[in-house]
Amino acid sequence: MAATKVRGKWLHRPARMLVFPVLDLELEFMARFCELTGKGPRKGSRIWRSGKPKKQGGIGTHVTGITKRRFLPNLQRVKAVVNGEVRYIRVAASAIKKGLVVKAPKRFWKKPEAKS
């Protein structure tokens, strides 16, 4: 499997291609990845400790186990304007807070009634 590069980060799984000609941006995206910033899952550890801390009168805590875990990005499904058309994209909450997403305007018109 070939690695692909998204915004300076290497991804080791095949991705679907999304092209933004207006923004001069070529992006590859996949599940659990932000379509704008490229944020994805990160590796980490869950650490178990036992014992009483020294501050509380014990002899100190000791690590009894470490297991691998994943930190997932806070992805939100947002209706946004992309290349002049309205579509849903999955972006990180931090990208929304930074103002990287142009949200779609509200629809106030009603559907025309069917003629009978």
pLDDT in tens, 56-114: 999 999 999 999 999 999 999 999 998 889 999 999 999 999 999 999 988 888 888 87
> CB count, 10 Å around CB of 42?
10
For residues 36-42, average pLDDT: 92
pLDDT band at 31 (very low <50, low <70, confident <90, very high): confident
Residue 81, classified by CB atoms within 10 Å of its CB into exposed (0-12), middle (13-18) or buried (19+), is middle
Q: What global pTM score does this model have?
A: 0.59
Span 38-61, mean pLDDT? 95
- pLDDT of the residue at 22: 44
> Which of 47, 49, 45, 29 minimizes the C-alpha distance to 37?
29
Angle at 67 between CA 51 and CA 64, to 5 degrees: 20
Q: What is the pLDDT of residue 46?
A: 96
Q: Which band of pLDDT confidence, cut at 50, 70 and 90, is reported for residue 17?
A: low
